[in-house]
Structure 1
Amino acid sequence: MITIVEGADRDHHPHLIDEMFRMRAAVFADRLEWDVTVTDGREIDRFDAEDPLYLLSLDDRTGALQGAVRLLPTTGPNMLRDVFPVLVPGGAPASPLIWESSRFAVNPATYNACERAEANHVVNRTTIELLCGIVEVCQSAGIEHVVSVFDARMARIFRSIDCAFEVIGTPTRIGRTMTYAGVFDMSDDMRERLGDAGRLLSPVLAKVEAQQNPNPRYA
């Protein structure tokens, strides 16, 4: 299930948030070798100080962190506008109806000990669960679209699970890979297609009350 944690309330979930930052270091610095800053084993950037909304995928049985993603309003500081403007020469989207997703990650600890087929299943299911969570949260807050920066590997994953996106701006090679800016529709159709792909037909959000308005500041 997906647990929602507002950036302003993350002191109420110290263990989960700390685990998330450590997972991000393992994924983005160690595995993907991105140019990110890691301090004391944790990957934290300036956008974590902008009161983001975190979606955390937790194992239903153990409560272990399986993956996470960060959401920010495009009306304030965000990665596409402030870090990757080269992708959108005409300017990044900025609207109260558009959020940005970033730092999408699946925890390596959840699949490192698995056989390859089982590991692929874990990664795929966690990925789809996080995407379903994004749609559900956005719909509850009246958000119509999500914009994100992603590489060619993620583009292939999105296409494989029927997670449609529209490329905006100009795809550009950054480092060793082609990088894209894409817009995703937060529609009922998107949720249905993702649910079919991951057999997640029921809501994935853990807290019913959070679906009413997960962050009034963003709505």
Structure 2
Amino acid sequence: MLFALTTEELMHRPDLWEAVHRLRHSIFVEEMGWSDLHRDDGLEIDQFDHDEAVHHIVIRNGEVAGYQRMLPTTRPHLLTEVLTDLYVGDPPSGPDVWELTRYAVARDYRDGRRGVSTVGTELIAGFVEWGLPRGINKVIIEFEPMWVLRALQLHFLARPLGYQRTYGRQQVVATLLTFNENTLDVVRTRRAHHAPVLSRGYPDLLGQRQAS
């Protein structure tokens, strides 16, 4: 299951808070080479972990297996403040547009083909499930160019916002993804899993087994 927590809720769970930020550091700093994010304590934290951020967390076998962070575009966010060379013109914004950042799958859970794991597709299904009831049908995401094609195959309408750039050891392009109920149906069909992934509950303590 995927859990959606506010920053306040996450901070009330020190075990989850630390596990999330260690996962982010291990992937974005150690694996992808984003050296500007390095911290000696091994935790990746930035100015966008604010009170309006929403953290999507997949827990399996009592540990954080996947993560992504949702940021409103009605206030400064990663694209407008840090990755400003990734867009041309005015980036889209509004209550129906959120930015998806720090998409991450722990190494032990990368079990899929072509880099798409079951945890990864759960994160994708999760943000669509989370967004649609809230009137959110667009996300800005900065990812590798090959993911634009993959998004189209999942019936997202994908529109690059600028030119690709190099960050660390990764080529990145900012893209606007628009989605609807049909997108969710396609994602669920590709996953061969049609039940909702977004939990209405609260995650148990790490170390206790969770159903996936």
Q: Report the Cα distance in structure 1 between the residues aligned to 2:47 and 2:186, rounded to whole angstroms.
A: 34
Per the alignment, residue 217 of structure 1 pairs with: none
Pairing 1:56–2:57 present: yes
Q: Please say if 1:44 is aligned against 2:45.
A: yes
Question: Is residue 2:193 matched to residue 1:194?
Answer: no
Match for residue 82 of structure 1? 81
Q: Which residue of 1 is the match for residue 118 of structure 2?
A: 125
Q: Gapped runs of 5+ residues in structure 1?
A: 112-118, 210-219
**Partner amino acid, structure 2, of 1:172:** Q
> How does 1:5-20 map onto structure 2 within 5 Å?
5-20=5-20
TM-score, normalising length: structure 2 = 0.84
Q: What corresponds to 1:22 in structure 2?
A: 22
The residue type paired with residue 42 of structure 1 is L
For 2:131, give the aligned amino acid: C
Once the two structures are TM-superposed, the CA of residue 171 in structure 1 deviates from its matched residue by 1.7
The residue number in structure 1 matching 2:156 is 164
In structure 2, distance between residues paired with 1:206 and 1:32: 30
**In structure 2, distance between residues paired with 1:168 and 1:158:** 12
The separation in 2 between residues aligned to 1:157 and 1:103, in whole angstroms, is: 18
Letter in 2 for 1:169: L
SS in 1 for 2:139: strand
Aligned partners of 1:142 and 1:7: how far apart in 2? 21
Offset at residue 39 of structure 1 (A): 3.9
Gap regions ≥5 residues in structure 2: 203-212
What is aligned with 1:137? 130
- Deviations 1:64-94 (Å, cap 9, x if unpaired)? 2110000011011211111112222202111
Report how far residue 5 of structure 1 moved: 0.9
> How many pairs are equivalent?
199
Larger helix proportion of the pair: 1
Which deviates more, 161-170 or 182-191? 161-170
> How big is the shift at 1:153?
5.0
Name the residue aligned to 1:149. Answer: 142
Provide the C-alpha distance between the structure 1 equivalents of 2:137 and 2:189, rounded to a whole number of angstroms: 21
Q: Percent identity, aligned pairs only?
A: 25
Deviation at 1:163, TM superposition (A): 5.3
Superposed displacement of residue 45, structure 1 = 1.1
CA contact (8 A) 1:99 1:146 kept: yes
Report the residue type matching 2:62 in the other structure: G
RMSD: 2.2
- The alpha-carbon distance between structure 1 residues 77 and 182, as it changes in their structure 2 partners (threshold 3 A), is same
Q: Which amino acid aligns with 2:76?
A: P
In 1: Cα distance, 2:28 partner to 2:51 partner: 20
Shift of 1:195: 0.5
